[in-house]
Structure 1
Amino acid sequence: MIPHYKNVHNRFKINGFHFDKEALFQLAYTSIKEGKEHEKDLGVFLLDWLDDKEIITVTTSGTTGVPKRIAIKKQAMVHSAIATGNFFNLHPQDKALLCLPPRYIAGKMMIVRAMIIGLELDIIEPTSHLDSLFAHQTYDFGAIVPLQAENSLEKLNQFKKIIIGGAKVSDDLASKLKEVNSEIYETYGMTETITHIAAKKIGEEYFNILEHVSISNDDRNCLVIEAPSISDEKVITNDIVAILNEKQFKWLGRYDNVINSGGIKLFPEQIETKLASRISNRFFITGFPDAVLGTKVVLVIEGESKEIDLEIFNSLEKFEKPKEVVFVSEFVETDTKKINRNKTLEKIKVV
């Protein structure tokens, strides 16, 4: 029997202390009144979760467009939490870490998983690294973003299982993660699907979907997700995928980022993956108008302008090689610290 969203598991802990509903109210008020920013966000979420409404309003990250507010059923969040627990074999009293902002869906869902499954959740301030973890601390489960993984490789052995989401894991990072003695998964999902609906072990090619999820392609070859326990409507994405079977798919790139250069369709994300180990600064691939090709491939790098060694492009196919390199002193970011490509391009008056 699936737990109701009003239930709080009797094994649930935060930072070592048991909390029932009444105690959670007190924690929420104290966090809002006296806490740091992430603690205030925790308190706001707890009050939203514990009120009499059946829905909760969340904000999308704004990675691919303007951030928007959407309403999600609390019971759907419970279904998502159970699906994650089943996929990763989580049990009551397993220790988990929240190091993501409770303001956004990934952080909220770690809290919901803990309340519903009965996890013992430790909460630390969300930063770009995990330096605040002591060497003796170990966890059964944690959720991080690629930047945290990159900056905290030596800490990841303290987790039995880790999920990484929010941005694609580059080939360079994936090769480093393979040396970590933990089960590490890259996830696929978005706010509209209440975080991930699929995951794959680092180094694997295909994502495996969670329970009660069905997938298909639309006429653009973009992923269409049906998950009745999570969303009443189909979720039509802008992610171009290759579907292997009813349970597995390979992510190719964003439909809205595809570059048609001289009649050849190129996926910026795939080019970026090839370049990730060769460029130390943040960067991305985009397309600029071109009189001959229609659209030419352009490399946009964060930082001061300097000479580029063309050997960094040796791993690219002929049509993938950038025809121009543009430097931007500072990229525009979303609230969740991802690169906002459109806003960054506006700075150089291209879009």
Structure 2
Amino acid sequence: MTPEYNKVHNRFKFNGIHFNHEDLSEVAYSIIKEGDPYEKELGNFLIDWLNKDDFLMVKTSGSTGQPKKIKLKKQAMVNSAIATGDFFGLQPGDKALHCLPSHYIAGKMMFVRALVLGLEIDFVEPISQPIFNTKKHYDFCAMVPLQLKHSIDYVTNIKTIIVGGSMVTKPLLKRIKEAPSRFYETYGMTETVTHVAVRPLQSKSRKGQQYFKALPNITFSQDDRDCLIIDAPNLVKEPLVTNDIVDLQSSTSFKLLGRYDNVINSGGVKLFPEQIEEKLQPVIEERYIVAGEDDTDLGEKLVLILENPSNIENITEKIKKLNTLDKFEIPKKIYALKKFPETTAGKIQRTKTLEKVLG
């Protein structure tokens, strides 16, 4: 029998204390009145979750466009929590660490998972290096790459860590390889109620994989652009067509190649910025993106945009020596910006960055 959104699991605990539905409402009002800003965000979410509406208004991150508010069914959020619990084998009484901001879907869903699955959840301030009890065993935690980067040496007490929200960099992947926990990169969006697929990252606990695997009751297909179509009837009514180009291995697994919006056609060759950016990681310390600039001969030429670089000539020389780049993947021009335009979640806004460079 599927749990309903207006029920609180009898094994649920919040910071070590069990609360029923009525108690939780009182807690929400209390932390809104007296809590720190990050706690007030959680309180506001709880008030919305515990009211009589069967939906929530949730803000998207704005990474692929302007942030907007969308309506999510609370039961769809419950279904997502169950799918995550089934995939990772989470059981009532398991302990979870919550260190994400509650105004975005990822932070909201950490709490929903605890309510639905009966987890004992500890909530800490969602800063770049979360402060938590490193002596206590945790079964599950979600982090963004920046948090994991700063915490990687202190997470040996966490069994499973999912990481998403932005790209997991090569230096971080290297450090994950030496860590004992199980790490998974996630794929999803606000519209799909967080992740619909995950892929294991190489660590001491398990072997890494290139392909994302679907969570229960989710399947994939492609459109004529080779973009991913997500069929998740328990989460969204209709199949969701994305702008993510994938190598589809099966109806339940895929490899992410890049976004259709970002593809550069240079002299008839399709270039995926995300893949080129990954190859450039070993030689560039600053934040950067690659993009396409109009060119009379090639149609588009590949350009590199750096944020506040220390030495462009030095970076240029290092790029020339990279043997992982194909001929067309070498930037034809390098631009510099003092500061990249960002979303409210801190992600680089590609289109605005390019507009700022090219005028």
Please confirm whether the aligned pair reaches a TM-score higher than 0.5, indicating the same fold. Answer: yes
Question: TM-score normalised to the size of structure 1?
Answer: 0.96
SS at structure 2 position matched to 1:67: coil
1:111 and 1:170 map into 2 onto residues whose CA distance is 27
* Alignment-derived partner of residue 345 in structure 1: 354
Query: Is 1:325 the counterpart of 2:334 in the alignment?
Result: yes
- Kindly provide the CA deviation profile for residues 36-66 of structure 1, in whole angstroms up to 9, marking residues without a partner as x: 2211110111010011111111010000101
Does the 8 Å contact 2:225/2:245 carry over to 1? yes
* Alignment-derived partner of residue 257 in structure 1: 262
- Kindly provide the CA deviation profile for residues 9-53 of structure 1, in whole angstroms up to 9, marking residues without a partner as x: 011111111111111111111121122221111011101001111
Matches within 5 A, 1:92-111: 92-111=92-111
- Kindly provide the CA deviation profile for residues 182-209 of structure 1, in whole angstroms up to 9, marking residues without a partner as x: 1100010000100000001013110110
1:31 and 1:349 map into 2 onto residues whose CA distance is 47
* Alignment-derived partner of residue 229 in structure 1: 234
Identity across the alignment (%): 52
Does the 8 Å contact 1:171/1:274 carry over to 2? no
1:264 and 1:328 map into 2 onto residues whose CA distance is 27
Matches within 5 A, 1:4-23: 4-23=4-23
* Alignment-derived partner of residue 79 in structure 1: 79
* Alignment-derived partner of residue 59 in structure 1: 59
- Kindly provide the CA deviation profile for residues 75-118 of structure 1, in whole angstroms up to 9, marking residues without a partner as x: 01000000000000001111111111100000000000000001
Does the 8 Å contact 2:76/2:236 carry over to 1? yes
Could you tell me which amino acid in structure 1 is paired with residue 306 of structure 2?
I
* Alignment-derived partner of residue 284 in structure 2: 279
List, as ranges, runs of 4+ consecutive aligned residues in structure 1 with deviation greater than 3 Å: none
SS at structure 1 position matched to 2:283: coil
Could you tell me which amino acid in structure 1 is paired with residue 349 of structure 2?
N
* Alignment-derived partner of residue 192 in structure 1: 191
2:157 and 2:319 map into 1 onto residues whose CA distance is 35
Length, aligned pairs only? 349
Matches within 5 A, 1:1-351: 1-130=1-130, 132-202=131-201, 203-304=208-309, 306-309=311-314, 310-313=317-320, 314=322, 315-350=324-359
2:236 and 2:182 map into 1 onto residues whose CA distance is 29
Does the 8 Å contact 1:129/1:152 carry over to 2? yes
1:57 and 1:82 map into 2 onto residues whose CA distance is 21
Could you tell me which amino acid in structure 1 is paired with residue 352 of structure 2?
K
Does the 8 Å contact 2:25/2:46 carry over to 1? yes
SS at structure 2 position matched to 1:143: strand
1:128 and 1:339 map into 2 onto residues whose CA distance is 17
Question: Cα RMSD (Å) of the superposition?
Answer: 1.3
1:6 and 1:78 map into 2 onto residues whose CA distance is 10
2:175 and 2:100 map into 1 onto residues whose CA distance is 22
Q: CA deviation at 1:163?
A: 0.3
**Long gaps (5+) in structure 2:** 202-207
SS at structure 2 position matched to 1:154: helix
- Kindly provide the CA deviation profile for residues 235-274 of structure 1, in whole angstroms up to 9, marking residues without a partner as x: 1100000111122111000000001111100000001111
Could you tell me which amino acid in structure 1 is paired with residue 318 of structure 2?
E
